[in-house]
Amino acid sequence: MKPVELAKNVYWVGAIDWLTRDFHGYSTKRGTTYNAYLIVDEKITLIDTVKAPYRSELMHHIRAIIDPKKIDYLVVNHVEMDHSGSLPEVVKEIEPEKVICSKMGHKALLKHFHQEDWPYHIVTPGEELSLGEKTLNFLETRMLHWPDSMFTYIKEDQIVFSSDAFGQHLGTSERFDDEVNQDVLMYESTKYYANILTLYSPIVKKLIAQIEEMQLPIKMIAPDHGVIWRKNPGKIIDAYSRWCVNEGKGNALIIYDTMWESTRKMAKAIAEGLQEKGVSYKLLDLQVNHRSDVMTDVLDASAVILGCSTLNNGLLPRMAGFLMYMRGLRPTNILGAAFGSFGWSGEAVKLMNKSMQEMKFTMIHKGLRVQYVPEDVHLRECVELGHTVAEALEDLKAGKEVVSVE
Amino acid sequence: MKKQRCLVCGYEYDPEAGDPGNGVAPGTAWEDVPDDWCCPVCGAGKDEFEEV
Write the DSSP assignment of A341-392 as a string of letters. EESSS--HHHHHHHHHHHTT-EE-S--EEEESS--HHHHHHHHHHHHHHHHH
* Percent of residues, chain A, with pLDDT higher than 70: 100
What's the pLDDT band for A191 if we cut at 50, 70, 90?
very high
What's the pLDDT band for A78 if we cut at 50, 70, 90?
very high
Q: Give the model confidence (pLDDT) of B13-45 as tens digits.
A: 999 999 999 999 999 999 999 999 999 988 888
A133 has a pLDDT exceeding 90? yes
The predicted structure's pLDDT at residue A126: 81
Say if CB A8 and CB A171 are below 8 A apart: no
Task: Kindly list the residues from chain B whose CB atom is less than 8 angstroms away from the CB atom of residue A142.
Answer: 9, 41-43
Q: Give the model confidence (pLDDT) of A255-268 as tens digits.
A: 999 999 999 999 99
| Architecture, CATH, for domain A4-243 | 4-Layer Sandwich (3.60)
- Cα end-to-end span (Å), chain B: 11
For residue A51, give how far its alpha carbon lies from the nearest alpha carbon of chain B (Å): 24
Task: Kindly list the residues from chain B whose CB atom is less than 8 angstroms away from the CB atom of residue A151.
Answer: none
DSSP letter, residue A82? H
Kindly give the interhelix angle for A291-299 and A182-192, rounded to the nearest 10 degrees. Answer: 100
Tell me the CB-side half-sphere exposure of residue A341, using CA atoms within 13 A. Answer: 18
CB contact under 8 A, A104 and B44: no
For residue B15, give how far its alpha carbon lies from the nearest alpha carbon of chain A (Å): 22
CB contact under 8 A, A203 and B41: no
What mean pLDDT is predicted for residues A170-180? 98
For residue A164, give how far its alpha carbon lies from the nearest alpha carbon of chain B (Å): 16
Say if CB A277 and CB A386 are below 8 A apart: yes
Residues 6+ positions from A110 with CB-CB distance below 8 Å: A116
Q: Does A143 touch chain B (CB under 8 A)?
A: yes
Taking the C-alpha atoms of residue A198 and residue B29, their distance in angstroms, rounded to an integer, is 32
What mean pLDDT is predicted for residues A217-231? 97
What mean pLDDT is predicted for residues A291-309? 97
Residues 6+ positions from A220 with CB-CB distance below 8 Å: A6, A7, A157, A158, A159, A160, A228, A229, A230, A233
Instruction: Write the burial class of residue A325 (CB in 10 Å: 0-12 exposed, 13-18 middle, 19+ buried).
Output: middle
A130 has a pLDDT exceeding 90? yes
What mean pLDDT is predicted for residues A149-176? 97
Domain boundaries, chain A: 4-243, 252-397
Instruction: Write the burial class of residue A271 (CB in 10 Å: 0-12 exposed, 13-18 middle, 19+ buried).
Output: buried
Beta bridge partners of A307: A256, A339
Residue A253: how many other CB atoms lie within 10 Å: 19
Chain B residue with CA closest to A204: the answer is B8
Predicted TM-score (pTM) of the model is 0.93
A153 is catalytic: no
Q: Does B25 touch chain A (CB under 8 A)?
A: no
CB contact under 8 A, A203 and B8: yes
What mean pLDDT is predicted for residues A37-41? 98
Task: Kindly list the residues from chain A whose CB atom is less than 8 angstroms away from the CB atom of residue B48.
Answer: 202
Task: Kindly list the residues from chain A whose CB atom is less than 8 angstroms away from the CB atom of residue B43.
Answer: 140, 142-143
A247 has a pLDDT exceeding 90? no
Element (H, E) at B23: none
For residue A30, give how far its alpha carbon lies from the nearest alpha carbon of chain B (Å): 30
Rounded alpha-carbon distances, angstroms, from residue A112 to A78, A115, A123, A262: 12, 9, 19, 49
A41 is catalytic: no
Of A17, A41, A48, A82, the active-site residue reads A82
The predicted structure's pLDDT at residue A393: 98
Q: Does B8 touch chain A (CB under 8 A)?
A: yes
For residue B28, give how far its alpha carbon lies from the nearest alpha carbon of chain A (Å): 24
Q: Give the model confidence (pLDDT) of A343-401 as tens digits.
A: 999 999 999 999 999 999 999 999 999 999 999 999 999 999 999 999 999 999 999 99
Q: Does A200 touch chain B (CB under 8 A)?
A: yes
Say if CB A321 and CB A354 are below 8 A apart: no
Taking the C-alpha atoms of residue A16 and residue A170, their distance in angstroms, rounded to an integer, is 9
Kindly give the interhelix angle for A201-214 and A233-243, rounded to the nearest 10 degrees. Answer: 140
Phi (first) and psi of residue A100, to 5 degrees: -95, 130
Which class is A252-397 in CATH? alpha beta
Of A61, A106, A225, A378, the active-site residue reads A225
The predicted structure's pLDDT at residue B42: 85
Q: Does A151 touch chain B (CB under 8 A)?
A: no
Taking the C-alpha atoms of residue A403 and residue A362, their distance in angstroms, rounded to an integer, is 6
A82 is catalytic: yes
One-letter amino acid identity for A124? Answer: T
Of A72, A80, A174, A272, the active-site residue reads A80
DSSP letter, residue A228? B
Q: Does B41 touch chain A (CB under 8 A)?
A: yes
